[in-house]
Structure formats: structure tokens, C-alpha cells
Amino acid sequence: MSVVTKPVTMPAPSFEAGTEDNYLTHTSGFLSWALTLDHKRIGLMYLAGVLASFAGGGVLALLIRLHLWNPNIDKTQALFSNQVYNQIFTLHGAIMVFLFIIPSIPAALGNFLLPIMLGTKDVAFPRLNLSSFYLWVGGALFFLFSLFATGLDTGWTFYTPYSIESRGPVVAATMGVFVLGFSSIFTGLNFIVTINTMRPPGMTWFRMPLFLWATYATAIIQVLATPVLGITVLLLAAERVLGIGIFDPKLNGDPVTFQHFFWFYSHPAVYIMILPAMGIISELISVHSHKGIFGYRMIAYSSIAIALFGFLVWGHHMFTSGMADVTTIVFSALTFTVSIPSAIKVFNWIGTMYKGTVSLNTPMIYALSFIFLFTIGGLTGLFLGALSVDLHLHDTYFVVAHFHYVMMGGTLVAFLGGLFHWWPKMTGKMFNDFAGIVSAAIVFVGFNLTFLPQFVLGTRGMPRRYASYVEEFQDLHRLSTIGAMMLGTGLLVAGLTLLHSLFYGKKAPMNPWGGATLEWECQTPPPHDNFSTPPTVGDPYDFSNIEYDSKIGGYFKKKR
């Protein structure tokens, strides 16, 4: 069923030439980037944006950890006042969640890869894609305003009634969230339509790369859940401006209603964060083990399952809020079901590596870190899903550690792995693999040092979002702070490695890792229209005819 054209699978003669036209050089000038409709350029712009946001949010995190070096019982010795501390963790959370984690993989990597993996020229709605980017920028500006106006101290969750009474720029921040929500919605919409209507002949659903399955599941959540966040923050803004009273107990409103509205989005949102990461890991593990993915269908189905089950469990964020008892029990039971598809994936990844030829290069090290860290994160989620245990652990550092393990140890690590993995394709340069591995190692050790002690802190009773604590927690907090510094260093090394490659990196071959998906069959970096001839669609995980050629330092697909 494949298109009968000459397959572009031989070592490209253009490999050696350094001057062929690609998407980076196709046109030049500020406007050619600012008004581009090329999904690859949009992806790169997103990448710059989310990495900048990550840096900002990361600095805030380091400030938090520095502040918590001391117990701060004596306020005058503390690094920040309580009010400022509240603002720091609020901005850290809001920036990380809305500006970095949610857009990162879909918008930066997904935008770049999706059409190429489909062998097509662009996404279904390129102008909508560009609008998504500018909406992201707009939302970022709102948040920047909130940052400098300061005073936003409600926590990233904006719980009422405090968010109604707080003097901070809640309306500005919530309008920023509203705008960012639409960015996310339009991206998801674009991806669903593209995958549905622009697959090439021969690429049935079950011949799609798993990264696309993951992206598709993510997009479903984006389209279904984000509007509810939109109406929630809109009503919150109306609450502050018009006093509509829906969430305000003083006006007979109900704060628990706000939490229901908020978490109906924000729980599926965490699956928006993790599903694309899992998609990346499926790619990384199979390519770097040079072995077909184990249990393709189960992984594909589990992605959809996670997306759907994820809508059933939002109440587990509200066990202590005053919900009815029946509701808490129902949500707790449902929460356990959502762990099953995730576990299936972990087993399948391990099954993929078994008897594979594992290349321990940078992307693979990150992928292995992911499996370890995400497993811990996921398992600790079960503790929190158990109603009786959660009543003790809710709003403690246990929760903080749990979500950092899944969001940072999971999504961020996968994002970095994916970034290293596709960096050669995106930029045409190879990075220094040893430096990359070093960065992965430092990140891994630093991360565990930061957040493992926090599990202990949580079970011992340290509440989250507190600017001070009792003496007995000091050692654990200090370990955590040291870890954070290490983590920051590792991330810096990773960033510098990639930056260095832009200037001094070797030219990358078309297929440095030996992947079988379509993006490895287009030029490196891709030309403006991705493929000069429509590529042949094969099995995305069939590595049997992919061989290494040391002359080009990369792989090629032998003609059948």
C-alpha cells in the first residue's frame, strides 16, 4: 500500500554538502520567522519560549530552596518575608505548569515532528498553529506582568475565597491562564485533525509511531479539558470584578465548587504533561535498543485509556476539602484504575530493552532515568490515591515530592531525552555525547537528592507552601537544597552542551541513531517542505534493514 515513488532511503549525497537549502535557511529576516507558517520554525520558537520559561521558573525554585535552607523561625533571619515567599512559590508553580510543562513537548517537539512523522508538508491549520504560538506569548506577557507587579500569592491553584480577597494581580494572572488555555486548545485541535486527515497512504492507525499516538491522546485531553479551565478562570475574574458570588462564601457561593471546576481540568492536565513524555520514551527506548517496541498495541491503547480514565479522578485532589464522603470513596477507587495503563507502558518498555542491543548514549540515559523516576512518582501516587493515607499526606511535602517525580523526573527528563534525540534532526548538528551523559548523570543524582528527602519530610508532617519549619526538619531540607543546586548544575550542563553543539558540533547524518520512523528519512535539517518526494511508509519499529555506515557516522535503510 505504499506510494510507489523512489524511496529516499539511500545515504543522501547531500550529506557532505553544507549549503543545501533547509528550513532554517529557506528564508531569512525577522518577519520570515515572526510570520512563518512553517511548523518547524514555530516549533523552534516555542522551544526557545518554553526553555526561557523553564529557566525563569527554575530560578524561582532555587530561591525557594535557598530560603528553606534555614528553619526561618526567626523571621528576621529569613531570606524572604512570608509574603514574598508566597509570591515566589505561586509564580514558580504557575510559570512551570502553564508556560513550560503543558506546552513543552506538544508545542516544541510535537509541532516540529508531527508532520514529518506523517510524511506530510505541514499541520492541517498552519495559521492556527502560528496563532497558538502568539497566544502562548500573550499569556506569557500576562504572567510576566504578574511577576513584576508582584503580589500574586494565591498558589498556582487560585483557591477561593483567598483568590477573591487577595490584593495581588489575580485577574491579570487568570486572564493569562485563559489566553494560554486557548493556545493549548488550538494546538490540540490542530494535531487531532492532522493525524486524522493527513496520514499518508499506507499509514494506518497501527502503523503510526507511538509518539503520534501519545500526541493524539494528549490532544484529546487538551480539547476536552482546557475549556473548563477557561470558564473557571473567567468566572474567577468575574468574581473579583463583579462579585458574582458563585465561589464566594460571603455571597452564598461555594469554594468547593471552584475546586471541582478547577480540578476537572487540572487533573487531566497532568496527563497532558505526561502522555507526550511517554510517547517520547517509547521512541527512545526502541530506537536505542535497536529493537521493535514490545506490545505496540497495548501501548497505543493505554495512551487512549490514560486520556479517558484521567477524566474520572479529579476529586482525589479534594479529599480534605469538604466533599461528601461517598464522593471521596468513589474518586479514590477510580484513581487506582488510572495507574494500570501507566504500568503497562513501563513493563512494555522494559520488555523492549530485553535482548535488545542497547546503546547507552545521552537520549537513552535520559530514557532510563525516566523509567526509574517515573516509576517512583507513579507508585507514590498510589499512596496519595488511597483515601485514608491521603488524609494524612494531603498538603504535605509528600505531595510535592510525588508531583515533582512525575512532572520533573518524568516529563522534563523525557523532554530532555527527546531534545537530545531529535537535536541532530532539528539543527543538523551533533552534540558532545559524553557531556550529554554527564549532564544526565548529574541531573539524576541531583534530582533524587532534592526530592527523596521530601517524601520523608512529608510523612513526618512538613506541610507544603510553608515558609518556615521546625528544627527537626532542617537536615532533610538542607539535603534537598544541596540536591537542587546539583540539579540546576546538571541542567546547565545539558543546556551548554546543546548550545555548544550549535557552534562547534559536527554535522549530523540523516539518521544518527538508526530510527525507522519517517523523520529519519528526510534531510537533516529538513527542507522547507519536509520531503522532496513522499516517503515510503513502513513499519515504524522495524529495524531489521537499518544498518550503520561508519563512513557517514549514521544509519541508513537498506533497499529491500
Partner 1 sequence: MSTTVAHDSTEKHQVEIHEHPSWLAHHFDDAQQQFDAGKMGMWLFLVTEVLFFSGMFCAYALFRNRDPEVFEFCSRFLNEKLGAINTGVLLFSSLTMAWAVRSSQLKETKTLIGMLGATLGCAAIFLGVKSVEYSHKWGLGLFPGKFFQSQLENPVHTENNYLWNLCIIPMILLVCFALYYAYGVITASKFHQRVAGPLVIAAICFFGGVGLGTFLESEEHEAGGTVVHNAEGEHADHADHAEHDHQHAAAESVKPAISFVTEDTSGIHGDVAITPAELVTPVSAVNQKGMAGLFFSIYYCMTGVHAVHIIGGMAVLTWLIVKAARFEFHSKYYGPVDNVGLYWHLVDFIWIFLFPLLYLIT
Partner 2 sequence: MSAPSIQHSDDGHGHGHGHGHGHGHDGEFSHPMPIWMLLTVFFALLILTCLTVYQSQFDLGNMEIWASLAIATVKAGLVIAFFMHLLWDKPLNMIIILGSLIFVALFLGFTMMDASGYRENLIRNETLQESQPPALNVAVSK
Q: Cell numbers of 225, please?
A: 479539558
**Strand pairing category for 554-557 and 546-549:** antiparallel
Q: How far apart are CA 10 and CA 559, in angstroms?
A: 8
User: Does 544 participate in binding partner 2 (rule CB under 8 A)?
Assistant: no
By beta-carbon proximity to partner 1, the closer residue of 168 and 527 is 527
CB of 130 vs partner 2, minimal distance in Å: 24
Tell me how far the alpha carbon of residue 428 is from its chain's centroid.
24
Return the closest-CA partner of residue 293 out of 237, 344, 348: 348
Nearer to partner 2 by Cβ, of 328 and 511: the residue is: 328
DSSP per position, 94-131: HIIIIIIIHHIIIIIIIHHHHHHHTT-SS-S-HHHHHH
* Rounded-to-integer distance, Cα 541 and Cα 525, Å: 22
Nearer to partner 2, 43 or 315 (CB): 315
User: Is 26 among the residues that bind partner 1 (CB under 8 A)?
Assistant: no
Determine, following the binding rule CB under 8 A, whether residue 260 of this chain makes contact with partner 2: yes
- Residue 327 touches which of partner 1, partner 2, none (Cβ within 5-8 Å per kind): partner 2
Is 322 among the residues that bind partner 1 (CB under 8 A)? no
Residue that is written with C-alpha cell 534532526 in the block:
425
Buried b (16+ CB within 10 A) or exposed e, 52-69: ebbbbbbebbebbbebbe
Q: How far is CA 100 from the centre of its chain?
A: 7
Which of 35, 52, 251, 360 touches partner 2 by CB under 8 A?
251
Kindly tell me which of 125 and 466 has the beta carbon lying closer to partner 1. Answer: 125
Q: In terms of Cα–Cα distance, which of 82, 84, 66 is closest to 74? A: 82
By CB under 8 A, the count of residues binding partner 1 is 55
- Whether residue 235 contacts residue 259, with contact meaning beta carbons closer than 8 Å, is answered with no
Judged by CB under 8 A, the chain residues 249 through 268 that form the site for partner 1 are: 250-254, 257, 261
Sign for the pseudo-dihedral over CA of 277, 282, 283, 284? positive
Could you tell me which of 371, 507, 343, 361 has the C-alpha nearest to residue 440? Answer: 361
With vertex at residue 31, the alpha carbon angle to CA 54 and CA 39, rounded to the nearest 5 degrees, is 60
Specify the residue, 228 or 440, whose C-beta has the smaller distance to partner 2: 228
Binding range to partner 1, per CB under 8 A, among 92-100, 120-128, 429-437, 482-490: 120-128
**Partner interacting with residue 13 (select from partner 1, partner 2, none; CB below 5-8 Å by kind):** partner 1
Closer to partner 2 by Cβ: residue 224 or 281: 224
CB of 313 to partner 2, least distance (A): 10
Q: Which of 306, 391, 310, 394 is nearest to 342 (CA)?
A: 306
Which of partner 2, partner 1, none does residue 324 bind (CB under 5 to 8 Å by kind)? partner 2
Does residue number 433 form part of the binding site for partner 1 (CB under 8 A)? no
263 vs 431, beta carbon nearer partner 1: 263
Q: Which stretch binds partner 2 (CB under 8 A): 126-134, 144-152, 251-259, 356-364?
A: 251-259
Site string for partner 1, 191-230 (x = CB under 8 A): -xxx-xxx------------------------xxxxxx-x
Q: Does 1 bind partner 2 (CB under 8 A)?
A: no
Listed in sequence order, the DSSP H helices in 354-471 are 362-385, 387-393, 397-406, 413-427, 433-459
Q: Tell me the closest approach of the beta carbon of residue 270 to partner 1, in angstroms.
A: 18
Taking the complex as a whole, the smallest distance from the CB of residue 255 to partner 1 amounts, in Å, to 13
- Which of 79, 256, 387, 438 forms a contact with partner 2 (CB under 8 A)? 256
Question: Which letter does DSSP use for residue 429 in this model?
Answer: B
CB nearer to partner 1: pick between 184 and 342: 184
- Tell me phi and psi for residue 557, to 5 degrees: -100, 120
Q: Please give the helix or strand (H or E) that residue 199 lies within, else none.
A: none
* Shortest Å, Cβ 206 to partner 1: 21
Nearer to partner 2, 315 or 436 (CB): 315
Cell of 472: 527537626
| Torsion on CA atoms 494, 497, 498, 503, rounded to nearest 10 | 160
Q: Which of 75, 250, 392, 559 binds partner 2 (CB under 8 A)?
A: 250
Which string of x and - marks every residue 191-230 that binds partner 2 (by CB under 8 A)? -----x---------------------------x---x--
**CA-to-CA dists, residue 89 to 30, 92, 104, 153, 454, angstroms:** 35, 5, 20, 8, 16
Residue 258 Rama label (left phi>0; alpha psi -120 to 50; beta): alpha
Residues from 523 through 542 that contact partner 1 (CB under 8 A): 527, 529, 532-534
- Cell 461528601 maps to which residue? 324
By CB under 8 A, residue 121 contacts partner 1: yes
Nearest to 331, CA basis, from 314, 306, 308: 314
Which residue among 21, 472, 475, 542 contacts partner 1 (CB under 8 A)? 21
CA 546, distance to chain mean position in Å, is: 30
Examine residue 165 and tell whether it contacts partner 1 (CB under 8 A).
Answer: no
Decide: is 58 part of the binding site for partner 1 (CB under 8 A). Answer: no
508 binds partner 1 (CB under 8 A): no
Residue 254 sits in the site that holds partner 2 (CB under 8 A): yes
**Residue 311 in the binding site for partner 2 (CB under 8 A):** yes
Q: In this complex, which beta carbon is closest to partner 1, that of residue 14 or of residue 489?
A: 14
- Chain centroid to Cα 285, Å, comes to 18
Site residues for partner 1 per CB under 8 A = 6, 12-14, 17, 20-21, 120-126, 128, 185, 189-190, 192-194, 196-198, 223-228, 230-232, 234-235, 238-239, 242-246, 248, 250-254, 257, 261, 527, 529, 532-534
Site residues for partner 2 per CB under 8 A = 196, 224, 228, 243, 249-252, 254, 256-257, 260-261, 264, 311-312, 315, 322-327, 330
